[in-house]
Amino acid sequence: MKRDYICPFCYGNLQVCEYIVFSARNTNKKFGLVLLHPEIGNYSIKSHPDFSFHSGEHIDFYCPMCHKSLVSDIDENLIQLVLIEDEKEYKIYFSRIAGEKSTYKVHGDDVTSTGEHADRYTFFKLADKYKKYL
Ligand SMILES: [Zn+2]
């Protein structure tokens, strides 16, 4: 299956070999590179030992090419990417809180949620007709 993770701003391809690459900043304002596994539901994360973060910490994610913040406009705790899979475009949202496992794959009204904490973001459970009341 052909699968590309794309920056929603510059449309640069974020994947190198087996990982999605981000520039990131921890709450100590220290920058580092993090690698995430491209398989949805796999929360393994790789970074240099000097760039550490503890569970519950909010990590800022940036595109390593255009340097824009990837925080989503629907929830400040979620990161937003574009996924092109078999020529179909999806929006991907995942939590930027270290240790929180919540990922959403969205295509129109079709939402696939993954992760043991996926119920924390109720935005994706509501039908469109209710979202306008938020
Ligand atoms: Zn970019």
**Over the stretch 4-35, which tens digit does the pLDDT of each residue have?**
999 999 999 999 999 999 999 999 999 999 99
How far is ligand 1, taken at its centre, from the CA of residue 9, in Å?
A: 5
Q: Residue 2: which pLDDT band, with cuts at 50, 70 and 90? A: confident
Number of domains in the chain: 1
How far is ligand 1, taken at its centre, from the CA of residue 10, in Å?
A: 4
Q: Residue 49: which pLDDT band, with cuts at 50, 70 and 90? A: very high
How far is ligand 1, taken at its centre, from the CA of residue 106, in Å?
A: 20
* For the chain, percent of residues with pLDDT exceeding 90: 76
Q: Residue 125: which pLDDT band, with cuts at 50, 70 and 90? A: low
How far is ligand 1, taken at its centre, from the CA of residue 133, in Å?
A: 32
Q: What integer is the mean pLDDT of 84-96?
A: 95
Q: Is the distance from CB of 78 to CB of 8 less than 8 angstroms?
A: no
* DSSP secondary structure, 58-69, as one string: BPEEE-TTT--B
How far is ligand 1, taken at its centre, from the CA of residue 91, in Å?
A: 15
Of 93, 84, 107, 110, the C-alpha closest to 12 is 84
Q: Is the distance from CB of 79 to CB of 72 less than 8 angstroms?
A: yes
Of 24, 23, 93, the C-alpha closest to 58 is 24
Q: What is the domain extent for residue 22?
A: 3-131
Query: Tokens at residue 53, please?
Result: 């973060």
Q: What integer is the mean pLDDT of 118-131?
A: 68
